[in-house]
Amino acid sequence: MADTKLGATAMAQCQEGSAEEGQEHRLRAALRHLQAESGVLERLIYKHRNQHRGAAYFQYLLKVRRDMKLLLSANLAEVINAVFPVITCHKPANTILVPNRQGKRKPGANHSHYKRLLGVARLLSQMAEPVMKGAVQISFLLARSFFVELCTAVLALLARVRVLTQQVSHIVYRHGYE
């Protein structure tokens, strides 16, 4: 009887661990896709900067680009490497709360992974507004049949960025506040 109970507990932990590994895989894939979309957005902004510089929709695109640069510069992959072994019970929980001992080797390394994860969560929640406002402005242009090719490309890019940021924020919020 006790063996069955222990076996069931071990099975539940293994299934939970595999679910967490799936979450980690999804998060890493979403980050790779965000990097790719950031490159596409960077190229679109570079190509159309002179013609659309003062327009409201272009200002929102610049805000989205700034937020994506901040998100990618947070080096979330490093935080994932530190946090997910704790979530899957491979490391003790205090390792993500204590700053790492690389203070002299890396600038800014004195921040704990937990604080960085919360900062990324805050940034992801703030990214929704410029993405939506930019999409609304672009849809106004598309309704007037101005710059149709640019508008469709930007709308597709903004939709993809919105979905990816929602996926990342869902995973980060789920694991950041447990």
Does pTM surpass 0.85? no
Number of domains in the chain: 1
* DSSP count for the chain of H helices, then E strands: 6, 0
Residue 165's alpha-carbon distances to 53, 54, 173, in angstroms, are 25, 27, 12
Q: Which tens digits make up the pLDDT trace of 162-174?
A: 999 999 888 877 7
Average pLDDT of the residues in 143-165: 95
**Per-residue pLDDT, 14:** 46
Report the C-alpha gap between 55 and 49 in whole angstroms. Answer: 10
Phi and psi at 145, nearest 5°, equal 65, 35
Domain that holds residue 32: 2-176
Report the C-alpha gap between 157 and 107 in whole angstroms. Answer: 33
| Orientation angle between helical segments 148-176 and 2-52, nearest 10 degrees | 150
